[in-house]
Structure 1
């Protein structure tokens, strides 16, 4: 390159002297944007998308980021959020790996909480394989939840590789019996509860969930006797309970869930609760204030007739029942019911009905037609059926004329949904009964796919059954659909 020949230099790369007009205007045109310049609420939202361990690492960026991470509203201290991938894999190496995994979890949680200021915490979840042997460590976590003024605590413990004599963690109820506690939501798994005689009850608690908790009948009474702020109570799989009584002082209770008690023999509701969900065997139930019960969900784990339960077992003292959901497996048909009760306030009925193979020869699905007469003001009807048997006969003209029940005009039913419709004769007869008698019907949805919440076996899912259900509905049901209210679903995703 000769003398005097200069290589071209673009203005973008030319350095300008500081303070020059061009340099000042360039700074005005291109302000330097940093993520730390965002408002704290947006930064908190960003860190909430990260795992707990990743969010804690942001504290090294600056003093501002330390405050952002420490204001995390939801703290999830679990196997997945605290441990590294190598630590998680170690738990698959047997009992020794599980013990090392447990120690690493306790150490990591302690290190994380030392960095957290406990400001703005709403909910804390502690989930790991721990028992009373680690009570000291669990106590520190519970104390942290109280000190951080958290409103929700989920203590989800379980016992693996401890042995049959494992003692569950004894939850210190006295921490709730103080003015320092802001807890209003509490969920306990695999703990033991022994409220002392001087226990004054829950001060602020509005939601209580007990799962696999070791507690006696008398201790449940003592525990709930002062819980007059409770709005939601859930008790699941408490193996020691044989009798359950919900005291009348729970006058603010809105939802009660009693699920899967292996030894429960009876239940008494001395309080008036608007919504009850029960799962278990058929047991006597007493309602001291039946007028308040509006929603009732029953999942029977023992085999029972659906109509037999509705008309013979369901208390006739529920005059304001608006929604009923019943799940059961039927082994035999009930030829007649002792009384055809009237449910004049019932607006929504859901029946999840599994018919076993031994009952199919005697069960007549057309019997369900009496529900139109029993609930004259019903507006929505859902019948979700599973035909749990090998023999299946698609209806055709050679099977004889279709039966019909006496006319029963229904002037309120507007929405009906029948799932598990596989084209059998009595299924078709029931659908026609609904179509002919529901005078204000707007939609009758026919779904060959079984939508029931009960487990569905592989043989129920056969494409042949689904195709038969669709073809029978299109050939025989849609022919009588003069109002164009019938819809036959084609795909399982609809």
Structure 2
């Protein structure tokens, strides 16, 4: 089987004598060995083979007629370059055209020998094969989409977005009534009015899909079981209108560049992720959103916008993550409150450098606006450092004694620098937070450190060399940040508070090899 384009279509004459209860034959040279496996019901054997990877299941079908029957009724059809053994081999380079032909040939062979019965999941990932014919994709879907199917994942190359129209007609006649998950990438979707074939669909993901406002409304209006909706790079959508879907809980909208408004009548959305330019947002008079993740990469001063607008739009937030590029205006003090907010994460990133006059201490306004806040994470990443480092002449630190944070327990500042206002922010937290349990000051913001567990030298889970590369200037600033912590902060940490200080990686951030710029 290894390296062969042909997967089993029939059992050999010797294998025909082997049933599931009789076991299977193993051939070693001229000898034939027989193994009597346990006498199990057919449905259990079918289930065992369904859990095996595609290639292993195909091999098993070569040694037993019973296994062959299971192969022909395999419920999970996952066609990727990995499952079809088309990974790039460094020793044997294969031309793209040959790999495309091999992919199409293997999928054709498998589906021609599949009974079409019992398919639960179909994943067709053609991202790396631009030469697949549209007629072949239609034929494969026609065979695999049968009554009872629950998941359809179709991932096409980018040039198919306007070229391939997903055949919704395949979902009629009861074949779409069992679908729970539909994931499409790089295609066109043109639902018709009154489409009611997806009444069991719980999750819908559309990425780089051509679908217009009214067409999406038509699709959603009949998807009464929908719980998760994810839209990525769908450029035809201008106004996203979400009907009254009572089960919808999670909404993700990512870089839909022409989107101007989101208006939702779904009463129970609790998790909302939005990435793009600021838009008109209406989530209902009493929004139930508890977790919000927002990023506006092309609009400056988004943090300032958020503290003035979001308390009115999403008043019941428990967790809030905000990402801003090129923040230049200090965060204002506002009367509005996030009355239920327990976790706040603010990510500041600058194309070049944060303005030297930017006041990190102004972020205390967010802490003040969140009376029950327990966790605060600040991440700062900048390519250049333009601020003035805190110095002996600047020993006088500003204090804001009127701002007390009685519930704050855990604080992390990633990308801690030597800017005076950054040092003042850390000192303020230590002095005005009576319930504080831990504070982490990391002089490097490592976006690869997703779990915030440390550099590669502090955990066996990561290999050496995986830390984010730093310029020489960044490493020098990290050292200045460490000196500022030691000089101005260390002595102010109460005995009841656990302080963690992290610096550059001793393996990855060697200043002798660091570049001046990337």
**How would you bin the TM-score normalised by the shorter chain?**
0.7 to 0.9
Matched with 1:104 is 102
Shift of 1:257: 0.4
Shift of 1:187: 0.1
- Partner residue of 2:59 out of 57, 60, 79: 57
Matched with 1:395 is 390
Shift of 1:58: 2.5
Gapped regions of structure 2 (runs ≥ 5):
1-32, 451-466, 507-518
Matched with 2:190 is 194
5 Å-filtered alignment, 1:261-340, equals 261-272=256-267, 273-314=269-310, 316-334=312-330, 336=332, 339-340=334-335
The answer to whether the 8 A contact 1:204-1:229 is kept is: yes
- Partner residue of 1:467 out of 475, 479, 485: 479
Q: Quick one: distance in 2 between partners of 1:239 and 1:48? A: 38
Q: Quick one: distance in 1 between partners of 2:86 and 2:500? A: 51
1:369 maps to 2:367: no
308-317 or 103-112, larger mean C-alpha shift:
308-317
The answer to whether the 8 A contact 2:179-2:198 is kept is: no
Matched with 2:434 is 439
Matched with 1:82 is 84
Matched with 1:151 is 150
Matched with 2:250 is 255
Shift of 1:452: 5.0
More helix by share: 1
CA offsets 1:262-287 (integer angstroms, 9 cap, x no match): 21122211222111100101111112
Structure 1 SS opposite 2:55: helix
5 Å-filtered alignment, 1:345-360, equals 345-357=340-352, 359-360=354-355
Structure 2 SS opposite 1:81: coil
Matched with 1:230 is 226
Matched with 1:204 is 200
- Partner residue of 1:114 out of 112, 115, 119: 112
Shift of 1:373: 1.1
The answer to whether the 8 A contact 2:311-2:337 is kept is: no
Q: Quick one: distance in 2 between partners of 1:288 and 1:84? A: 49
Q: Quick one: distance in 2 between partners of 1:42 and 1:469? A: 62
Matched with 2:493 is 481
Shift of 1:357: 4.0
Q: Quick one: distance in 2 between partners of 1:389 and 1:86? A: 39
Structure 1 SS opposite 2:82: helix
Shift of 1:198: 3.8
Gapped regions of structure 1 (runs ≥ 5):
1-31
Matched with 2:339 is 344
**Alignment TM-score, normalising by the size of structure 2:** 0.78
The answer to whether the 8 A contact 1:293-1:318 is kept is: yes
Structure 2 SS opposite 1:316: helix
5 Å-filtered alignment, 1:377-456, equals 377-391=372-386, 393-452=388-447
The answer to whether the 8 A contact 1:274-1:293 is kept is: yes
Shift in alpha-carbon separation, 1:352–1:87, aligned structure 2, 3 A: closer
Shift in alpha-carbon separation, 1:462–1:82, aligned structure 2, 3 A: same
Shift of 1:121: 4.7
The answer to whether the 8 A contact 1:353-1:452 is kept is: no
**Alignment TM-score, normalising by the size of structure 1:** 0.81
Q: Quick one: distance in 1 between partners of 2:47 and 2:475? A: 50
Shift in alpha-carbon separation, 1:214–1:154, aligned structure 2, 3 A: same
- Count the aligned residue pairs: 451
Q: Quick one: distance in 2 between partners of 1:101 and 1:191? A: 22
Shift of 1:329: 0.9
Q: Quick one: distance in 2 between partners of 1:167 and 1:89? A: 37
Matched with 1:138 is 137
Structure 2 SS opposite 1:360: coil
Aligned-residue RMSD, C-alpha: 3.3
| Larger Rg over CA atoms | 1
The answer to whether the 8 A contact 2:311-2:338 is kept is: no
Q: Quick one: distance in 2 between partners of 1:351 and 1:42? A: 52
Q: Quick one: distance in 2 between partners of 1:414 and 1:437? A: 12
Shift in alpha-carbon separation, 1:61–1:459, aligned structure 2, 3 A: same
Structure 1 SS opposite 2:83: helix
